[in-house]
Structure 1
């Protein structure tokens, strides 16, 4: 399978709050894809996380980082 297909399938299992978009040959390359994603993001979203296909992350990376956004310092 393509590298993005397991991610698409996982997002589908997570439910409607998780949406997946595969952009083939998108104008603007990465910046264009990020802008597309921001346009699709809910207006009340407070945190937006971005990872690339070459990142190696821990299973709970986002759960670990989010509490830091509640701290004023």
Structure 2
């Protein structure tokens, strides 16, 4: 990764701050879920279906955690107006 946060911080500090990671996870989720639905939803117990489902859940889960931290940092850094 080439962004400033990815080069100099540990994993937990990147959550919610790395927009490149969030964009990649969004793209992978948008590609993975329809792929699973179109090709593997009819046979959910096959090895291929479980593998694609595992990756889709992992991409979406990590994206969710990124968005949760992003929201937390935005709330934390907003100052109430007096």
User: Fold-level match, TM-score > 0.5?
Assistant: no
Q: Which has the higher helix share?
A: 2
- Higher RCO (Cα < 8 Å, 6 or more apart): 2
Structure with greater Cα Rg: 2
Structure 1 length-normalised TM? 0.27
